[in-house]
Amino acid sequence: MNTWLNLNFQNSASFIMEEMIFFYDFSFLVISLILLFVVYVMIFLSFSGFVSRYVLDNQLLESVWTSLPLIILLFLAFPSIRILYLMDEVRYPGITCKVMGHQWFWSYEYGDFKDIEFDSYMVYNLVRLLEVDNCFVLPVLIKVRLLVSSYDVLHSWTVPALGVKVDSVPGRLNQLNFSPNRLGLFFGQCSEICGANHSFMPIVVEIVTVENFSNWLINYL
């Protein structure tokens, strides 16, 4: 989960989030190099004595500063588009669940299993407002497809460690997918301003092994 004064992303808990962090680091490096180059040119020109003030034309330089930004944008565009397609690709999910937003709690339904659905309310804790009475339990290393909607107003199901954020809109069914790659508890909150208790509908996803998930299903039934 996130902590105070943490300027980085949370540790990834899904393959999509790993790709997003890698792309962020790569793009940050490219932007940093561009910034250093611009600062260097500004400082160099400040102390150059204007020795080139009579140069009125340089076609080679114009070609370079026209083509170089295009090449840089291509280096940023291709991995970005790849991640966008990975986020939208929902072929062959291992498990499908439905998430419904309410004022102000979440309800979960496991569509692949009969009669497994429950509500998840916040448990008031003075230390942090992220505890719930029923965690959303999912198996590790299984591709998960979520169908997200709402009963009343706009909500947003968001778990930063999993790299997922989708609006739950009344009358509309949105979907997302992710593959958890490590065990643990991962926290999120509604990211839409959905009313007076907007900040009191947290999300807790518990990633367990496939064996423990099977035992949880059996005990729940």
CATH of the domain at 179: 2.60.40.420
**Domain assignment present for 48:** yes
Predicted local distance difference test score (pLDDT) of residue 53 = 66
126-151 average pLDDT score: 91
- Please check whether residues 19 and 41 belong to one and the same domain: yes
User: Closest Cα to residue 184, out of 221, 143, 212?
Assistant: 212
- Indicate if the pLDDT at residue 160 is higher than 70: yes
- Indicate if the pLDDT at residue 74 is higher than 80: yes
- Contact between 17 and 162 (Cβ < 8 Å): yes
Predicted local distance difference test score (pLDDT) of residue 1 = 58
- Please check whether residues 126 and 200 belong to one and the same domain: yes
- Indicate if the pLDDT at residue 162 is higher than 70: yes
Q: Cβ neighbours of residue 83 under 8 Å, at least 6 residues apart?
A: 16, 19, 20, 23
Predicted local distance difference test score (pLDDT) of residue 9 = 84
Phi, psi dihedral angles at 145 (to 5 degrees):
-115, 125
Any idea which of 24-33, 45-54, 145-154, 176-185 has the lowest mean pLDDT?
Answer: 45-54
- Helix boundaries (H) for the chain: 15-46, 59-88, 210-220
Predicted local distance difference test score (pLDDT) of residue 24 = 93
**Domain assignment present for 7:** no
- Indicate if the pLDDT at residue 50 is higher than 70: no
- Of 88, 107, 122, which residue sits at a domain end? 88
Any idea which of 25-39, 112-126, 132-146 has the lowest mean pLDDT?
Answer: 112-126
**Domain assignment present for 198:** yes
**Domain assignment present for 129:** yes
Range of the domain at 172: 95-220
**Domain assignment present for 5:** no
- Indicate if the pLDDT at residue 157 is higher than 90: yes
- Please check whether residues 140 and 68 belong to one and the same domain: no
Cα–Cα distance, 160 to 179 (Å, whole number)? 14
Predicted local distance difference test score (pLDDT) of residue 145 = 94
Predicted local distance difference test score (pLDDT) of residue 115 = 79
- Please check whether residues 73 and 110 belong to one and the same domain: no
- Of 64, 88, 112, which residue sits at a domain end? 88
6-25 average pLDDT score: 89
**Domain assignment present for 8:** no
**Domain assignment present for 138:** yes
Matching residue, tokens 């992303």: 9
pTM: 0.84
**Residue 221: count of CB within 10 angstroms of its CB:** 9
In angstroms, how far apart are the furthest CA atoms of the chain?
84
- Measured at the CA of 169, the angle between CA 164 and CA 175, to 5 degrees, comes to 40
Q: Cβ neighbours of residue 196 under 8 Å, at least 6 residues apart?
A: none
- Please check whether residues 41 and 145 belong to one and the same domain: no
Q: How does pLDDT run across 191-213, given as a tens digit for each residue?
A: 888 888 888 899 999 999 999 99
Helices 59-88 and 15-46 pack at an angle, to 10 degrees, of 160
- Of 88, 119, 136, which residue sits at a domain end? 88
- Please check whether residues 69 and 136 belong to one and the same domain: no
- Please check whether residues 216 and 111 belong to one and the same domain: yes
81: CATH: 1.10.287.90
When divided into structural domains, the chain yields a total of 2
Share of the chain above pLDDT 90, in %: 62
- Indicate if the pLDDT at residue 150 is higher than 90: yes
- Please check whether residues 203 and 120 belong to one and the same domain: yes
**Domain assignment present for 179:** yes
Cα–Cα distance, 65 to 18 (Å, whole number)? 33
Question: How buried is residue 148: exposed, middle or buried, by Cβ count under 10 Å (0-12/13-18/19+)?
Answer: buried
Report cis status (omega within 30 of 0) of the bond before 104.
yes
Predicted local distance difference test score (pLDDT) of residue 186 = 94
